[in-house]
Structure 1
Amino acid sequence: MDTFFGLRERGTTPRTEVMAGLATWLTMVYIVVVNPGIMAAAGIDQGAAFVATCIAAAIGSALMGLLANYPIALAPGMGLNAYFAFAVVGGMGIPWPVALGAVFVSGLLFFLVSVAGFREWLINTIPFSLKLGIAAGIGFFLGLIGLQGMGVVVANQATLVGLGHLSDPKVILACLGFLLIAGLVARGVPGAIILGIIIIALAGIPFGLTTFNGVVSLPPSLAPTFLQLDIPGALGIGLVGIVFTFFLVDLLDNAGTLIATTHRAGLMNPDGTVPRLGRAMLADSCGAMLGAVLGTSTTVSYIESAAGIQTGGRTGLTALVVAGLFLLTLFLAPLATSVPGYATGAALLFVACLMAKSLRDVNWDDTTDYLPAIVTALAMPFTFSIATGIGLGFVTYAVVKAIAGRGREVSGAVWLIAGLSVLKFALGAG
């Protein structure tokens, strides 16, 4: 393992990698409950979607660990699954097999540009200030998700968001859990995030906030969705815009996640480029195609991998542990779903605070650098979309540099992403 993954070189151990994999799995296992529900809204069998979600996450994470040696896990992406179910199938009336075909075609396009090295060039030429803004923005995005899960932030018709009921036992436990995790990390306790999640979940049992759903159950059949995608239907001229949206959002979301997690793990090169990016792109693209074959929406790199990275995960062994746990989840669904959302929400909020530290490295003396970074960071949580935040940041960077008479500093890749983002916004895709 040390030879293959370079454990000693990256300052980690098998035990640390296993703990990191467990931390990542605990913070993202919610997807095996949420994604099947969203797929069911598109008319897909919920049991089959559950199995497809687990298998896609397992194989995608294993590919990332083996090909790129990164502690990054994959699973069907939030946001893309909502676009699939509510915009494409529900809003446009596209049959779900055709929509799965569009996901596969977008993944194939993703694969081709990855093999050609185009996407690697695209991401590595992103300005360092925007990369810092992306890392912080994803932290803020995670923070909002965490605060929602904790019950601290709730929807408000007048102000969009508002303060939850702080006297609610669930909210109190979540807040105490966040402080517990922070304190344990400050004391250097190994596996602090995992311990915090477990303690919060156990503390909720006397209040009826944590429900023990059992341990083992047989997985449902995958037959209703396996190989049911309609690729010829997806190649119709009317679906070009849908395929393009799947591709672009997948590209930007994965780019943001890779930049944020590699920066947090200390794996980014000194010049701001991401090593072995091409291999990571191959894992992402294969995961996208695999999800469509199994019967779920696009599989992407998960920002929740930051929880495992904070626990000490530094190699692909962490991703392999996550893959194994998702395979076990096929049979341990009742146990996996016993961990309440407020417990993982506290962990996500803590990780969000850590990721926001990347803003300290922004060049605050140059308006054309820090302004796009801040726009990127703020737009992600306020639009509830990583891809939208990145797109707005690129447009801001290119335009501000051009107005300032420094257009030569803007690379072709930045102009390309800015232009594609404008086109995406014009098409009404979030």
Structure 2
Amino acid sequence: MLGQYRRGPGGRNWRTSAPKKVETPSPPYGTLLKSIEVKDLDGESTSFSQTATITDSRLVASYNWVDGNTVEPTILVPGKPPRWTPLTEAMNLAQDSGEYFRDKNAARYPKHPMEPAVLALLATDPAVRTKLDVIGCGSTIGNLLRFVRGKDKPFRMLVELVQDTVFFIRRENSPTELLHDVYGYGHTFPEVYTSWEPDVKGSASHQRLVRYSFGGLQLIVRFEGDGYLAKSPSSSEASQDASVDDLISGLPVAANISEKVSSGTKLKVQRAGEVVDQDFIFDLKTRSVNKKNDQDTLGEELPRMWVSQIPNFILAYHTRGVFHDIEVSDVHQDVEEWEKTHNQQLSKLAALIHRIIVEVRGRPDGKLELCNDGSGELEFREQRSEAGDALSVETKALWVKDVDSDEPDIVWAADDDYTACTESCGYCGQCTY
């Protein structure tokens, strides 16, 4: 049973009760094939020192997960991230409570968590799959980066070759694995200080896919966009004329929104939203004001922002839940400088990705599982059959077909007119007019 929600300022979801925490066991491991340590990459990494930089980065697709009373799991393409709409007068926020999914994509589409990203790509630009080496997400690429940096956080990921492209898919103990020990204001703050606009009302999250060159490879990385700046990233210019009363008066009054877990049914793809340039996307973090002088929060987040190529950072400091100190910064130069100063580690990352590609191409089934228990070794294991496939049979057929084919890649679902919805229906897009 999922927790219940009430509507909070900004039209976001506030959880008011939570289900009992259920610990899930780890999936069984496949046969160990080999294991490596970071030092094993020293020799081959030197050949990537000149190419261990991100170049030609560009947004190639985006989508929103739709929340609400939908029977089918639904995405909006291109969707739109929530807009930064800070309050003119700070209010005391409730601390985070309840439970939240560790992997939103897996929770909503557990059988094939990367399939929504693939369908968004095919719906946006089918030719983007040509000469593509890797599709992953901020989590999988970030875990490999942490490994080569000696930051041994345990992880597991599935690796699968689909035609010429290698898929990296994060693996939790369960698709509905929950974040543990959630506290602070990392959820309630964006619920109040960002807003879904009318054309994407009822959205639950915004996912973005950037393509770039790295280490002589072409990668597409999916990540969640926290929001976008409607103006240039400075605290004064980004401030909007939004008050608590304004936000509350604009809320849907009959919304019934909850985190739906898909049973694995086919995904519904709808046209809705608007493409937002990557230059306006921000990452958001909240911290106690007591940590302002003794914690380098931006420095800690730069590796992750480098992976996703996010150029803006919002750091909000609170005093017992009241946010008077909010910094909105353009950090693209910080990201570039971090890349320059970590060339040796990034060269090892390039070497590691190349090695994974070679290993999975050599497997009869084109599959592997990578496991790191935090001991400093990365294990290459056989992928057990119950792990499933990266893509459904239908979507795999679309992915591998000739890009010059005249057959359409995506059959769009009938568009729901979100702009015609009203407050009384909760902007769910499901009304009959």
Please indicate, yes or no, whether the TM-score normalized by the shorter chain is above 0.5: no
TM-score w.r.t. the length of structure 1 is: 0.22
Q: Which structure is higher in helix share?
A: 1
Report the TM-score when normalising by structure 2. 0.22
More strand by share: 2
- The structure whose RCO (Cα within 8 Å, separation 6+) is larger is 1
